[in-house]
Structure 1
Amino acid sequence: MSKTENILIAYFSYSGNSRRVAELIQEKTGGDIFRIETVNPYPTDYNEVVDLAKKEQEYNYRPKLATQVNDMGAYDVVFIGYPNWWITMPMAVFTFLEEYDLSGKMVIPFCTHRGSGFGGSVDDIVELCPNSTIIEGLEIMDDENIDQQIDSWLDRIPISSRLSVNN
């Protein structure tokens, strides 16, 4: 598929699952990829990160981000990827969505999970991006055939008409 200059794939990943999905989407769409990183890294111990994520959510905490998108205005389509943490997105993704004006952009969520799907995250995205067009997202369990699912999903969503296959 040819490079489409107006696509950004922004993702937050703790264990690497969401990063893997983001990289596959980037490979298939040719868009730019951006990792959402926090100034203070999350603990490496799983139980510690689970506890911290729960506390961040309880206090509606917005962690500071270590990286910034250089020119968000250059993008018409923003894929936003994350793991499901406590039935929504990690709070770093909330920070990301609040830092940028995504008005008029197509926002497309993708979520990795272990059985809880999107939870309430799509509703949260709709609330945080009231002037954006939210497109059908993709929920991926850690053990599913990711490559096939992404292909099928990209064929269904409106950006597929913007992508062309180079043979």
Structure 2
Amino acid sequence: MKTLVVYYSFDGNTRLIAQAIAETAGADVLELRTQDQPQSKGFSKYFWGGRQVFMKVRPALLPLDKDPAVYDLLFIGTPVWAFAPAPAMSSFLEKTAIRGKRVAVFCCSGGGPGRTLGRMAEILAADNVIAGRMHFVEPRRSPQVSADKARQWAKEVLVL
């Protein structure tokens, strides 16, 4: 089964999980990058990110170096921003035709997932099979534990 891990990461938490999943699944990796990559740090990144979500900003993405259409299974991951997917992920989901795939969605946050997993699944469910959902809390605080959890989840999704 040809597998792709698609993710956006601002602070590296989602990247850590995406890499663990990709290693376990033998998957290709597609990291989403915006044309104007934000540089906010500290508390200002939360204000900036929340504003982006509430204003429904959809940043332009750099060209994708992988075509999701040629894969059978997609793992799609995002950080949680203001209880929702990061704007870069929303851009990807709204502008990329994903049809006839098995899709597993995941998110990373410092608290709960909010509406993130539900929104992602809702967008994707009409034309795809949702094979799994998973939330990771602050993966970089316990990288080994988080990576192990990601590997185990990836194995479960692969056998479904």
TM-score (norm 1): 0.84
The offset of 1:96, in angstroms, is 0.5
Alignment partner of 1:120 out of 99, 107, 115: 115
Query: Which 5+ residue runs of structure 2 have no aligned equivalent?
Result: none
Which residue pairs with 1:92 in the alignment? 88
Query: Which 5+ residue runs of structure 1 have no aligned equivalent?
Result: 162-167
More helix by share: 2
What secondary structure, in the 3-state scheme, does the structure 2 residue paired with 1:97 have? helix
Correspondence 1:160 to 2:149: no
CA 1:97–1:120 in 2, change beyond 3 Å: closer, same or farther?
same
Per-residue CA distance 1:42-74 (angstroms, 9 max, x = gap): 123232221221121112110100131442221
Question: Structure 1: which 4+ aligned runs deviate by more than 6 Å?
Answer: none
What secondary structure, in the 3-state scheme, does the structure 2 residue paired with 1:84 have? strand
What secondary structure, in the 3-state scheme, does the structure 1 residue paired with 2:119 have? helix
CA 1:28–1:155 in 2, change beyond 3 Å: closer, same or farther?
closer
What secondary structure, in the 3-state scheme, does the structure 1 residue paired with 2:105 have? strand
How many residue pairs get matched? 155
Q: Taking every aligned residue pair, what percent have the same amino acid on both sides?
A: 24
TM-score (norm 2): 0.88
Larger radius of gyration: 1
Which residue pairs with 2:67 in the alignment? 71
CA distance in 2 between partners of 1:137 and 1:127 (Å): 12
In structure 2, give the amino acid aligned to 1:62: R
